[in-house]
Chains A and B, each alone.
Chain A
């Protein structure tokens, strides 16, 4: 993954956080060296604890797992208003970073989801649909070795 090494993700997310004023930005990447597909939060900024390092997500589990599996962006303007609000612990990064308003987009490579970019606020309602749209514009179609895109809506 030479492309990944050349691109400074930490710097990139620091910049995103700075420019758009988020409380938290994180990137989850697939562990490619292993045969098993395991997602980890590799680069974060604005984090409250280092507990995120322990977390290894399976496909379909957690924010990253969900976005990874579906390849679709995910937006929660108010975490407490989510239908499964009581099961918020199923989104460990959201629970342990205390995010109240967040969104995530898939990062593609060779037409496969390889990573997930998460942004969030610790106050509810701050990441609106318009703000999320603006974020997607700001990121553009290229992010390091990855590109972002919208899957066709059926």
Chain B
């Protein structure tokens, strides 16, 4: 210990007690409050604080919402206040605070005077740290979810395309042979109808497969996949997508192609759902070592700063998460009544580990 005199030390401690951001409570052997500092008084509802001061039994429980144990997020099982001999250096405590609702605190609970059995409870606001942690966790989880979803879609899409569609096709061929085998009248008509139904089924399977994940993306690349998708959009929704590209069928790493495709898909879908337009403009270009995707519409637009999503709001979020996977940047500019412009830039680094391999 350094050489602070007794007087200095008590002065410092007093200052700490008065000005600390940490809430400090002293309790006597019966669990009655001896003293609480300004920070502590600030976080507790005045009503509840008065009751604690008056020494009402279990008044502390009026503000306490439990602590975190191995089993539960918030629990009262083997409460620290009841079990007063034990020193706990750190645990998480939830308090119902004045005006801020339930707030997590990092708490410590120690006996500082074995004779008088005086204990001190100190609380440190964990909200910030807590929020940081949650956001980080969420980010990681979203990335994993995106990857898992993409992999699973790819698998099912392949399965549908390679085995289910093939089986249907061979039945269709058999049925066509049947048409030329001395049948007529009702039987022929029925065979024709069945053929039609089978063809519809085959179409549906193919659509499903493409919707899940276009094989064109893996086999022929971004431009082809986009063209097919936009044609499909025009057919299904009457939306004209004007697509230009200077890529010349160049191929990129699987992960990048997936990200660009999905972002383009999402952006155009948003325009379709919310922009109230008939035309959307998409450009794809490689410029200065970057792959650039631009999706533009002249629709109703939205306020980027005061954005209240009409849908789930997950679309824009998902686009950002995806672009982060390939260390690119996403720029969304829009104004009420002035259309929306979405720009994605993805750096094309040569030596990046290939985590997703398309080419089978």
Seen from chain A, the residues whose Cβ lies within 8 Å of a Cβ on chain B are 35-37, 49, 51-62, 86, 89, 92, 96, 112
- Bound-state CA distance A55–B272 (Å) is 14
Across the interface, do B204 and A58 meet the contact criterion of CB distance under 8 Å? yes
Across the interface, do B234 and A54 meet the contact criterion of CB distance under 8 Å? yes
- Bound-state CA distance A73–B199 (Å) is 25
Quick one: which of B203, B236, B239 contacts A36, CB cutoff 8 A?
Answer: B203
The 16 listed contacts between A and B (C-beta, < 8 Å) are A36-B199, A52-B238, A54-B238, A54-B239, A54-B240, A55-B235, A55-B236, A55-B237, A56-B236, A57-B236, A58-B203, A61-B236, A62-B236, A86-B311, A89-B237, A112-B193
| Residues of chain B with a CB closer than 8 A to A59's CB | 200, 204
Across the interface, do B207 and A58 meet the contact criterion of CB distance under 8 Å? yes
| Residues of chain B with a CB closer than 8 A to A56's CB | 235-236
Across the interface, do A55 and B238 meet the contact criterion of CB distance under 8 Å? yes
Which residues 210-238 in B have Cβ within 8 Å of A in the complex?
234-238
- Bound-state CA distance A92–B232 (Å) is 13
Count how many pairs of residues, one from A and one from B, have CB atoms less than 8 Å apart in the complex. Answer: 46
- Bound-state CA distance A37–B312 (Å) is 34
- Bound-state CA distance A49–B239 (Å) is 12
Contact string against A for B residues 178-200, beta-carbon threshold 8 Å, 1 for contact and 0 otherwise: 00000000000000010010011
B242 on the A face (CB < 8 A): no
Which residues 258-305 in B have Cβ within 8 Å of A in the complex?
272-273, 278
| Residues of chain A with a CB closer than 8 A to B207's CB | 58
Quick one: which of B193, B204, B235, B312 contacts A60, CB cutoff 8 A?
Answer: B204
Interface centre among A35, A53, A54, A57 (most CB of B within 10 A): A54
Excluding A58-B203, A86-B310, 9 further A-B contacts by CB distance (< 8 Å) are: A36-B200, A37-B199, A49-B278, A52-B238, A54-B235, A59-B204, A62-B236, A86-B311, A89-B272
- Bound-state CA distance A96–B272 (Å) is 10
Across the interface, do A53 and B238 meet the contact criterion of CB distance under 8 Å? yes
- Chain B nearest CB from A119 CB (Å) reads 20
| Residues of chain A with a CB closer than 8 A to B193's CB | 112
